[in-house]
Structure 1
Amino acid sequence: MTAIDNTEELRQSVRAWLTENVPGDWRQAMTGVDQELFVAAQKEWFGKLVEAGFATPHWPEGWPGGGRSLAEQKVIYEEIARADAPRLILYFVSLYHAACTVIECGNQEQRDKYLPGILRGEIWCQGFSEPNAGSDLASLKTKAIRQGDKYIINGQKIWSTMAQYADRCLLLARSDSSGPPQAGLTYLLVDMKSPGISVRPIDQITGDDEFAEIFFDDVEVPACDLVGEEGQGWAVAQATLASERGLTLVELSLRMQHSLSFLTKAMQQQGVSDDATFKRDLGAVITQVDAACALADSYLQKRIDGTEAVGDASLVKLYYAKALREYTRLGRRISGYSGLFDTAPMRGATQETGNWALDFMNSYNWSIAGGSNEIQRNIIAERMLMMPREPKTWRWGDK
């Protein structure tokens, strides 16, 4: 699809395409199904978006749909949210974390090797967090030891989304322990079919198994799959995490805004549409959701204008997590006793499914995912407000 300078023309084009192609009744079809059917549906939807050029508008020019301005990308994501299209949860790491890391930090050989594979449907997962190194990535223990033209990997990763279906992994491992915690980390692209890798899905309290553990036992990774320089993986990891900002926050906020009707529908079903307390609380939630959308929109405009400052993304992420929590909490309260029971999960949706018990539990994910609320507050305090840095935490054995 060729670039359209006029964003309104682009909007109408995207809207028409989505009207014709968004899977009908996908929410009902993806409720209570097993992961295999969900994966098949995601692959089919991904293929359609790639062909239309709407999966990769953030990629450079020359790739399908690539080279679009941020303003054009924003239009595409706004329309996808408005159309209530399925989220590409299976391909989120592939399209953003993997692609943007390889584009920004990889070499030409890696771009030529891995980007076409993503467009063909290769699935990537992220191997950052560990059992004792979640938000504190600097304390990770997985080892990457250089032996000639390869690295030998030993260790464990956890909370890796859809790792059980992944073809490749973005791996952050420790190659040197002699310096500061952030030093000595090395970033590798790993073939998940390599001998020595085992994956174990995690059964969650929600009934889903979205996350998995990955175990590495003497796994060999070619040195040509090193991204950046050995020991400089911390900087590469920051580029990976930065890739999900901006448009993702705009899309998520808009999806929540478009799902406010779930709350009014729940009030009608429970016969409390005229209840003064619920009407007051609904008004408060609508205000918070609208504010989250306004913050995300303002942040993206700063990126478009080149005026983005450190901490701007943290403000949006922190407020989105708060608004989502209040949204799902109100839905649970409105639904009364029925809102205390979890029914089958809806795959391919965000945290606005109308399954209020599940939505409320899942809202806590956003207090952690993409950097915990505590980390976001530290960034805002230290790097925006220039307050004193948080004191170093004393650990047993420190002198």
Structure 2
Amino acid sequence: MSGDPETLRADVRAWLQRNVPADWRAAMTGCDQDAFVRAQRAWFDKLVQAGYATPHWPAGWPGGGRSLAEQKVIYEEIARADAPRLILFFVALYHAACTLIEWGSEAQKREHLPGILQGRVWCQGFSEPNAGSDLAAVRTRAELRGEHYVVNGQKIWSTLAQHADHCLLLVRTDTAGPPQAGLTYLLLDMRAKGVSVRPIAQITGDDEFSEIFLDEVKVPVANRVGAQGQGWAVAQSTLASERGLTLVELSHRMRYALSRITGLMRERGVEADAALRRDLGRLAPKVDATCALADQYLLKRIEGTEAPGDASIVKLHYARTLRDFTALGLRIAGLKGQYREPFIRGGGMETGNWPFDFMNSYNWTIAGGSDEIQRNIIAERMLGMPREPKDWRLSGERT
């Protein structure tokens, strides 16, 4: 599918004006998880039917086969319309779908891709208590017994796993050789015997993340993605799927949300405050630069010139700018900004609930690879600097 991006922009903008749920922010403020899930499903169904949920999927799927330029237009307009974010289906639409499209068997694609469009929810089982940003340190074990892997271990920080039907599971099948070589990638049925999920209460009052406990869980060999020991390569494809378009949408959401900061200044009568005007003047070009970096990165992907580290630059700049954005909003809000108010489920990273936004902004300095990891990638893969030692106590010894 291809066409004129600006014609598409007009079509998407008109559709969003008709279909974005009216007063969705008010409805999602302080609501419980059940109400949130119902609202997410209703919005997801609308986007699927319109073909705007899966423009990144191949041709032949609803709305699939769009060029990257057209995909960019769709996500820019979704950000402009301040539509609800599809948090519940994010892993299914990107991580699961893109991994299966690239690595999955034909049987796996037939089984799972239609299910995603029908509303099946996926979560990601990568991080562990002692293996967060360092996936090579994964210790959850999977032992091959006949036609099944038997899995034991624990995963953590799995987004909305309490609602998931399936999980993208990274496990260790071998301890010999380099740690990356011993990883295998499995598709886990979250209803399987031995799987238990415990939501994590966060400082924000949300329970977006969960722990997953795996006790003698049987996973059919047919649910392995790629070959045994190929999990590291498959996982890199999974992680790459969330970059590019996601950061385009999030950076543009932040740009449009600048009006919340200027509106707050007017509301509190501090438009003339020289220090606040100075800090707003510094923030606005940083937000514009984040959008420009995200757009430039997507252009490189369109042209096929993307280099290792390009995505890390965008992610790192976005995370730091978001911290500055929410900190300024919290500061302008004054004493009221210290109040704990109900948060908006399904909102962006800049909802205008400044205490929640400020605390939540720290997620992005960790999730998807911490700032430190991004700096390492930029230094080592882009700038050619020496790799950091495995152990800082080994004076000068390189990995």
| Normalised TM-score (structure 1) | 0.97
1:353 and 2:351 aligned: yes
Cα distance in 2 for residues equivalent to 1:83 and 1:223:
44
Residue equivalent to 2:110: 112
**What does residue range 263-342 of structure 1 map to in structure 2 within 5 Å?**
263-342=261-340
**Cα pair 2:139 2:153 within 8 Å, conserved:** yes
Compute the displacement of 1:394 (Å): 5.5
Compute the displacement of 1:4 (Å): 4.7
Moved more, 387-396 or 172-181: 387-396
Residue equivalent to 1:44: 42
Residue equivalent to 2:381: 383
1:246 and 2:206 aligned: no
Compute the displacement of 1:160 (Å): 0.3
Q: How many pairs are equivalent? A: 394
Compute the displacement of 1:339 (Å): 1.1
Residue equivalent to 2:67: 69
One-letter amino acid of the structure 1 residue matched with residue 13 of structure 2: R
Cα distance in 2 for residues equivalent to 1:142 and 1:360:
33
Cα distance in 2 for residues equivalent to 1:351 and 1:61:
32
| Normalised TM-score (structure 2) | 0.97
Cα distance in 2 for residues equivalent to 1:349 and 1:234:
32
**Cα pair 2:167 2:187 within 8 Å, conserved:** yes
SS in 2 for 1:289: helix
1:32 and 2:59 aligned: no
Deviations 1:253-287 (A, max 9, x none): 00000000110111112210111111111111111
Compute the displacement of 1:188 (Å): 0.2
Q: Percent identity?
A: 68
**What does residue range 169-248 of structure 1 map to in structure 2 within 5 Å?**
169-248=167-246
Deviations 1:279-330 (A, max 9, x none): 1111111111011001111111111111111111100000000110000000
Cα distance in 2 for residues equivalent to 1:28 and 1:326:
26
Query: Taking structure 1 as reference, are residues 164 and 308 closer, same or farther at Cα in structure 2, changes over 3 Å only?
Result: same
Cα distance in 2 for residues equivalent to 1:341 and 1:383:
44
**Cα pair 1:342 1:356 within 8 Å, conserved:** no
Compute the displacement of 1:342 (Å): 2.4
Residue equivalent to 2:57: 59
After TM superposition, what 4+ stretches of structure 1 lie above 4 angstroms from structure 2?
none
Q: Which stretches in structure 1 are left out of the alignment for 5+ residues? A: none
Cα distance in 2 for residues equivalent to 1:394 and 1:387:
16
Residue equivalent to 2:16: 18
Cα distance in 2 for residues equivalent to 1:197 and 1:388:
42
**Cα pair 2:200 2:207 within 8 Å, conserved:** yes
Cα distance in 2 for residues equivalent to 1:342 and 1:150:
48
Q: CA RMSD in A?
A: 1.0
Cα distance in 2 for residues equivalent to 1:358 and 1:111:
38
**Cα pair 2:2 2:67 within 8 Å, conserved:** no
SS in 1 for 2:216: strand
Compute the displacement of 1:391 (Å): 1.4
Q: Which stretches in structure 2 are left out of the alignment for 5+ residues? A: 395-399
